[in-house]
Amino acid sequence: MKSGIIAKDLRGNDPAELRSTVRKLEEDLFKHRLKKNTNQLENTMLIRNTRRDIARVNTVLAERVRAGAGASAPAAKASADEAAEKPAKPAKASKKAKES
């Protein structure tokens, strides 16, 4: 199996720990890109794998945010329904119509 970050393992971590993991991975990605541009990076797949690891961690973070917002989602939906029921604002007159 590939040696990378597994989403299953990430789901047990705190959001703060996940953010620090993203920060470390972004630093690694920067270093890999720097090495690539100076022709010192032997394995260019490191860049792709690091980008994918960052995406995995961000996905787990987004799941946490959605799960936390899930409790307030019905209230948000109710306010969205109320906004949909309000009549539309009248269109503003164009500059040409004002000049005439």
Q: Write down the pLDDT at residue 1.
A: 43
How many other C-beta atoms are found inside a 10 Å radius of the C-beta of residue 21?
A: 20
Q: Domain boundaries in the chain?
A: 9-84
How many other C-beta atoms are found inside a 10 Å radius of the C-beta of residue 57?
A: 24
Residue the block writes with tokens 């959605």:
66
pLDDT, tens digit, for every residue of 33-87? 999 999 999 999 999 999 999 999 999 999 998 988 776 545 444 545 555 555 5
Cα–Cα distance between 47 and 30 in angstroms, integer?
9
> Residue 5: which pLDDT band, with cuts at 50, 70 and 90?
confident
Write down the CATH number for the domain with range 9-84: 1.10.287
Cα–Cα distance between 95 and 35 in angstroms, integer?
56
- What does pTM read for this prediction? 0.65
